Structure 1
Amino acid sequence: MIGLLWAASLLGQESLLQSGPMVGYGDMREVLLWVQTKQAATVHFRYFEAGNNSERFETSKTTTQKSTAFTAKLIADQVQPGKKYQYELYINGKKVDRPYPLRFQTQALWQYRTDPPAFKIAVGSCMYINDTPYDRPGEPYGGDYEVLTSLAGHKPDVMLWLGDNTYLREPDWYTRTGIFYRYTHTRSLPELQPLLGATHHYAIWDDHEFGPNDSDRSFGMKAVTLEAFQNFWGNPYYGVDGKPGVTFSFEWADAQFFMLDNRYYRTPNDRKTGHRTMLGEHQFQWLIDALTASHATFKFIAIGGQVLSPFIGFEKYSIYAEERDRLLKAIEMEGIRGVIFLSGDIHRTEVTKMQRRGTYPLYEITSSPLTAGTYPPENNDANYLRVPDTAVNARNFVIMEFSGPRRDRVVKVSCYTKDNTQQWTLAIKATDLR
């Protein structure tokens, strides 16, 4: 009888788990761990260095609350640089086993000591999870969720989510209840859980988790969607210069990522008078300052919509031509080396390459969609800067692999479809970005 009661107790704690756990940002001295429960519960994590569970550490404990969708963020702060750790989730004091690995890592202290380490980063956007009562009638828009299993199989160190990471529907847009429901529904997808539990996740947003399709700074619920985004992601910070938004930056080895907010300050696409902006002046100036100050080998500018494509339309930066030109000119005039753009949004993956007179070419890697709908090749827009044979009109993801000695670094970029079939691969040398 005692054994049955104990088993029932363990099952009870597992049944309280809604989604996660998820690994958020990771640095040399701390790592963020996230989890969501179904109702108020006390949660914490225990962790230990991989292969040595004799010395165990614990995070603090916290009680999840309805006001934050029963999510919790806890910090593993008894870690050392360059180590791999395993971790365990506890709900109401009972360990909750998961049928897949739970692990995180701390970044290596390589500076002034060794070459930068090799590492692997996954990139994706546009994850639509079907929810029949609230979806449009007809053929389901989402599918092929096994693409997430294929992605997780690459064991990336980091996953970059480049927007439309969930899709708010009509019943969700204008209430806190609807917004939190949609985030919870998407985050609870079974195929997503192994990826959440063993990879460090960093995210920005685009229109579909910010608000309605093509939404902009006029959206009245943007403070609530920002709150939901903050509750469900584990970025190191949100917004710059004391202003709200999802903007932030982080480093991983010798790469730095400048994660931009293309919604909170965005002028409506169709506005014809006044100053037109996608980023807002404070974010624009922060970006140029941060790029100029960076010593990273590779400097990735990540944003929801495409930047380099000359095609005017479909929410590309080209419809904000003056600001886009200012950005490209500033990169040139400041002599900023190693810039590569990352984007999503267009439900197609492709590489764009812009040749520039007297300096290195700019690349943009667009990765889309993960599970949202796709369009046939004949619908591809007239991006005449598209690198031949890189357009992929299927659900897919991108893997970036960094390697080589400090003075001869290279990033190999590859695209894979849902069944892990490689579609193309491209090597970009740091020496070619100077």
Structure 2
Amino acid sequence: MQNTKIKPWLCGVAVLMTCSALHAEAPSSRAEPLSRIVFGSCIKQDQPTPIFQPMLAAKPELLLFTGDNIYGDTDDMPTLRAKYDKLARNPSFAALRNACPVLATWDDHDYGANDGGADYAKREESQTEFLEFWQTPQQSPLRKRSGVYDAKIFGPAGQRTQVILLDTRYFRSALKTGDRRVGGPYVPDDTPTKTMLGDQQWQWLKVQLQQPAQLRLIVSSIQFVASSAGQECWANLPLQRKQMMDLVQSTRATGVLLISGDRHWSEISSVTPDGGYPMIDVTCSSLNQLHARGTPTENDFRISNTYHRENFGILSVDWQDSDPLVQISVRDIEGKPRIEKTIRLSELSLQ
């Protein structure tokens, strides 16, 4: 019988993350370079999860859960906890997160409020439930600060992968609404005081982008690159979106690749702002929660087909090549590729 007991040292989102002080360099927790990362978003805890089997068969060296890891949608913490508990009792989920280290951030549904931001009244309590579910150690910095943003570096010098998990919920300002479009009611708002990440998280992110790493995966629960079409995305706060692009360029952070979820379909988007740094966003969604409409919103920056059934992502890196090859693959419930893209690591830099 397979042992499905959860190993705390593998499951803790904070066990695997962050430096002990804001300006300290994060040490690597893995001697070998990461060559296979599996990721996904949007798990309806009450529905079957056959997608976990091909994810396990992919032999991940790291798992990333990028948001909506349950559908909590409540300000009642016992209810939220019960929904986490239901996912934890899923044998396939337990086996999957027993297989390798796990990192996670949240989106609105596991945060507790659909499209919720800083105005969600139970955000502090919800953070406690999140940290408990992911078995975060009591001594972790996440227990002492607001928000679940965190980072981790894997691999030896010259072959380092940095994973940066953003919190796009805890500090996010209220969104502006207008006439409802296909994706929803939200419209771009250039009010300079509005924020996506909050001042402290922005300062922290600047420090992380200056850490030595060859490949940097920035996990944003909502889409970063996609154009506004009514849905939640960074384009709703265009000044914050620009701040991210400017920060990547000013820190001269190489190897940046964005991973997002939320949309209940998968696609790849890309934009190259002035300065020549291509921002590529791999949206991977969902693991078992299908979109009722089945058609995507408009996206001026889409560079791939879209896929609308259950899916997960695989990021593979060939570190033996002099210019490492990064392969992106979105797989279906049978493990077959549905969206693919290959990038040389040298392409993820100022051109």
Per the shorter chain, which TM-score range? 0.7 to 0.9
> Structure 2: how far apart are the matches of 1:166 and 1:364?
23
Q: What are the Cα deviations for residues 336-390 of structure 1, in whole angstroms up to 9, with x where unaligned?
A: 221111111011111111134442322111110001122455x31111211132x
Is it true that 1:247 corresponds to 2:152 in the alignment?
Answer: no
Query: Paired residue for 1:164?
Result: 68
1:228 offset after TM fit, Å? 0.7
Normalized per residue, which structure has more strand? 1
> Structure 1: how far apart are the matches of 2:312 and 2:6?
19
Is the Cα–Cα contact under 8 Å of residues 314 and 328 in structure 2 kept in the other structure? Answer: yes
Is the Cα–Cα contact under 8 Å of residues 304 and 345 in structure 1 kept in the other structure? Answer: yes
Is the Cα–Cα contact under 8 Å of residues 146 and 419 in structure 1 kept in the other structure? Answer: no
1:224 offset after TM fit, Å? 1.3
Query: Paired residue for 1:109?
Result: 31
What pairs with 1:244-393 in structure 2 (closer than 5 Å)? 244-253=146-155, 254-270=160-176, 275-291=193-209, 293-377=210-294, 379-389=295-305, 391-393=306-308
Cα 1:419–1:268 shift into 2, 3 Å = same
1:23 offset after TM fit, Å? 4.5
Letter in structure 2 aligned against 1:362? M
Letter in structure 1 aligned against 2:323? D
1:333 offset after TM fit, Å? 3.0
Letter in structure 2 aligned against 1:327? M
Cα 1:247–1:107 shift into 2, 3 Å = closer
Is the Cα–Cα contact under 8 Å of residues 225 and 281 in structure 2 kept in the other structure? Answer: yes
Cα 1:23–1:349 shift into 2, 3 Å = farther
Q: Return the TM-score normalized by structure 2.
A: 0.83
Query: Which structure 2 segments of 5+ residues have no match?
Result: 17-27, 178-188
Letter in structure 2 aligned against 1:289? V
1:201 alignment partner, one of 87, 102, 106: 102
Is the Cα–Cα contact under 8 Å of residues 194 and 237 in structure 2 kept in the other structure? Answer: yes
> Structure 2: how far apart are the matches of 1:280 and 1:156?
33
1:119 alignment partner, one of 22, 35, 44: 35
Say which SS state the counterpart of residue 314 (structure 1) adopts. coil
Is it true that 1:21 corresponds to 2:5 in the alignment?
Answer: yes
> Structure 2: how far apart are the matches of 1:425 and 1:270?
35
> Structure 1: how far apart are the matches of 2:7 and 2:267?
28
Q: Return the TM-score normalized by structure 1.
A: 0.68
Cα 1:239–1:193 shift into 2, 3 Å = closer
Is the Cα–Cα contact under 8 Å of residues 125 and 368 in structure 1 kept in the other structure? Answer: yes
Is the Cα–Cα contact under 8 Å of residues 375 and 393 in structure 1 kept in the other structure? Answer: no
1:22 offset after TM fit, Å? 3.1
> Structure 2: how far apart are the matches of 1:400 and 1:74?
22
Say which SS state the counterpart of residue 86 (structure 2) adopts. helix
Cα 1:425–1:257 shift into 2, 3 Å = same
Query: Paired residue for 1:420?
Result: 335
Cα 1:265–1:108 shift into 2, 3 Å = closer
Say which SS state the counterpart of residue 316 (structure 2) adopts. strand
Query: Paired residue for 1:114?
Result: none
Structure with the greater relative contact order (CA < 8 A, sep ≥ 6): 1 or 2?
2
Is the Cα–Cα contact under 8 Å of residues 10 and 98 in structure 2 kept in the other structure? Answer: no
Cα 1:331–1:179 shift into 2, 3 Å = same
Q: What are the Cα deviations for residues 57-104 of structure 1, in whole angstroms up to 9, with x where unaligned?
A: xxxxxxxxxxxxxxxx999xxxxxxxxxxxxxxxxxxxxxxxxxxxxx
> Structure 2: how far apart are the matches of 1:288 and 1:235?
24
Cα 1:402–1:375 shift into 2, 3 Å = farther
1:289 offset after TM fit, Å? 2.3
Q: What are the Cα deviations for residues 20-44 of structure 1, in whole angstroms up to 9, with x where unaligned?
A: 53356xxxxxx4467xxxxxxxxxx
> Structure 2: how far apart are the matches of 1:33 and 1:123?
15
Letter in structure 2 aligned against 1:183? Y
1:196 offset after TM fit, Å? 1.9
Query: Paired residue for 1:49?
Result: none
What pairs with 1:423-434 in structure 2 (closer than 5 Å)? 423-434=338-349
Query: Paired residue for 1:88?
Result: none
Is the Cα–Cα contact under 8 Å of residues 238 and 245 in structure 1 kept in the other structure? Answer: no
Q: What are the Cα deviations for residues 131-150 of structure 1, in whole angstroms up to 9, with x where unaligned?
A: xxxxxxxxxxx44x111111
Query: Which structure 1 segments of 5+ residues have no match?
Result: 1-13, 25-30, 35-72, 76-105, 111-116, 131-141
Q: Percent identical across equivalent pairs?
A: 24
> Structure 1: how far apart are the matches of 2:202 and 2:6?
31
Is the Cα–Cα contact under 8 Å of residues 75 and 113 in structure 2 kept in the other structure? Answer: no
What pairs with 1:120-135 in structure 2 (closer than 5 Å)? 120-130=36-46
